[in-house]
Amino acid sequence: MTGSWIRLAVRPSHVDRRDAVSAALFAAGAQGLHEDGDWLVTHLEPSASLDPFLDAVRVADALAVVETGLVPPVDWTAMMRERIVSHQLGSLTVTPPWLADQFDPATTIVIEPAMAFGTGEHPTTRGVVRLMQAEIRPGDTVADLGAGSAVLSIAAAKLGATRVAAIELDADAIGNAEENVVRNHVVGRVSVLEGDAAVFLPLFAPVRVVLANIISSVLLELLPVIAASLAADGVAILSGILGEEREMMLLAFAENGWVVRAEDAEEQWWSVTIARRAGA
């Protein structure tokens, strides 16, 4: 069909390959990306060559499933605006800018959709926002590991935290995070830092609350430094964990001196609040 756009959908072989595949698609020239269940979807202009995108995906994840097809020309900006909605999560709302006027600014987190993870569209983000509302206290120091768009950092500030470190390793996400901090009027309370969470977190110790929406394998690697960086009454709120990994994570927590304070589940994703066991 003349003038038809190309739909390119990629299903990574495992959740821990999603970031690599996303980065590969953007590096190949994708102008936007959205999640459709397990699939990462982008649309290419009719004249675009698929080869650079297919090659990039193969390098990032050789076992990924790729589907292509043609779709009629559409206004992708308008379509994106239709797909991204506001999310009411307890006392907080996460919304794109074009819907923000209908909500109370004091309890609203406005996130501009970009390549940084964290628009409120993913269950892991929503799980952490729900859990943190029972833990954040006025005046808290908070560290957000793998901050992405800084949505969780901004939520912490809206809940009363006065010192929040939004730590993100991906340089491409930093600009979006900084823009969101300004957009939400939390400059001075939220600091966006580019670097390794394992290096930066101890510099902010003691931290009352650690937020980490990262894949489970990285969470397990970070548990020792999180434990060493928490205040005596501190908690960690973790997500990015598949429901099928719950038992494995519970065992790891128990073996390393953690107790579970609260849990949240949505779709296939599990989020959890943990604290250090007395005497651990």
Which CATH number covers residue 57?
Answer: 3.30.70.790
Secondary structure of residue 2 in the 3-state scheme:
coil
CATH number at 150 reads: 3.40.50.150
CB 202 within 8 A of CB 228: yes
Q: Where does 72-206 show beta strands of DSSP type E?
A: 87-89, 92-95, 108-110, 141-145, 163-168, 190-194
Same domain, 91 and 182: yes
Same domain, 202 and 94: yes
Same domain, 265 and 163: yes
β-strand pairing of 92-95 with 87-89: antiparallel
pLDDT band (50, 70, 90) for residue 234: very high
* Structure confidence at residue 1 (pLDDT): 41
What the block records as the tokens of 53 is: 């995108």
Residue located via tokens 């050789």: 62
Rounded alpha-carbon distances, angstroms, from residue 223 to 15, 46, 217 = 20, 47, 10
Q: How far apart are CA 146 and CA 194, in angstroms?
A: 10
Same domain, 40 and 123: no
Same domain, 227 and 118: yes
The verdict on whether omega for the bond into residue 96 sits within 30 degrees of 0, i.e. cis, is no
Q: How far apart are CA 40 and CA 127, in angstroms?
A: 21
pLDDT tens for each residue of 159-187: 999 999 999 998 888 999 999 999 999 99
What mean pLDDT is predicted for residues 95-113? Answer: 93
Q: How far apart are CA 51 and CA 272, in angstroms?
A: 41
Res. 78: pLDDT tops 80:
no
Query: What's the angle, vertex CA 239, arms to CA 99 and CA 90, rounded to 5?
Result: 40
Res. 95: pLDDT tops 50:
yes
Same domain, 242 and 110: yes
pLDDT band (50, 70, 90) for residue 264: very high
Q: What is the pTM of this model?
A: 0.76
Instruction: Examine the fold and report which residue of 57, 79, 101 is the final residue of a domain before the chain moves on.
Output: 79
Q: How far apart are CA 153 and CA 144, in angstroms?
A: 6
For 122-146, b/e burial (b = at least 16 CB within 10 A) is bbbbbbbbbbbeebbeeebbbbbbb
For helices 51-60 and 18-28, what crossing angle results, to 10°?
A: 150
For helices 151-158 and 123-132, what crossing angle results, to 10°?
A: 20
Same domain, 138 and 224: yes
Cα dihedral 39, 84, 96, 194 in deg (nearest 10): 0
Q: How many domains does the chain have?
A: 2
Instruction: Examine the fold and report which residue of 41, 62, 79 is the final residue of a domain before the chain moves on.
Output: 79
Same domain, 128 and 239: yes
Domain of residue 48 covers 5-79
Instruction: Examine the fold and report which residue of 38, 59, 79 is the final residue of a domain before the chain moves on.
Output: 79
Same domain, 193 and 270: yes
Residue located via tokens 């065992």: 251
Same domain, 18 and 151: no
Same domain, 272 and 156: yes
Same domain, 129 and 229: yes
CB 118 within 8 A of CB 125: yes
What mean pLDDT is predicted for residues 235-242? Answer: 96
